[in-house]
Copies of this chain bind each other. A is one copy, B any other.
């Protein structure tokens, strides 16, 4: 890691983390965070080489496109948080650019430290810097703690988030 990799320092003192773009070597750690989640446990994890190949292919697609930022928070050499930001053009709302946040995860040992809020605050500021008119995300209806967390940050649960598995 070089200082130039860092997008932001989140928090202070020994618990401080740096926020940076993910690298290919982070894929396993990010997948571990996804798989540690109550809903992700059945959806994510590396069972065999084909799973790892699928994650690495997705990583390449994200990393190659400047419209996407896959980020990690790192502290003491460990990945303790992740989120993906995507910047999406659209005609609605007078041609508004939207920032979309997906797959926000904080390691269990780092929860309650303010890391998640610091990551989200950075994401909202980055959306503003890029001229977005809106930040959007969806959150499973069972994650009631997460909804309160997002509402404290200013999000409004104004929409139904509808999914169709193929």
Q: A residues near B, CB below 8 A? A: 27, 30-31, 34, 40, 43-44, 51, 54-59, 61-62, 65, 67-68, 70, 84, 86, 88-97, 100, 102-103, 124, 127-128, 132-141, 147, 150-151, 153-166
Contact = CB atoms under 8 A, between A and B. Distances in A.
A9 B31 CA distance: 42
Contacts of A133: 165-166
A93 B43 contact: yes
A47 B109 CA distance: 52
Given A31-B91, A89-B65, A91-B34, A155 B159 contact: no
Contact of A67 (B40, B65, B135, B155): B65
A135 B163 CA distance: 6
A108 B160 CA distance: 23
A94 B55 contact: yes
Nearest to A47: B94
A105 to B, nearest CB: 9
Nearest to A93: B43
Given A27-B91, A88-B102, A128-B166, 15 more contacts: A44-B92, A58-B97, A59-B91, A68-B88, A84-B90, A88-B100, A136-B138, A139-B162, A140-B159, A154-B164, A157-B160, A159-B160, A159-B162, A159-B163, A161-B161
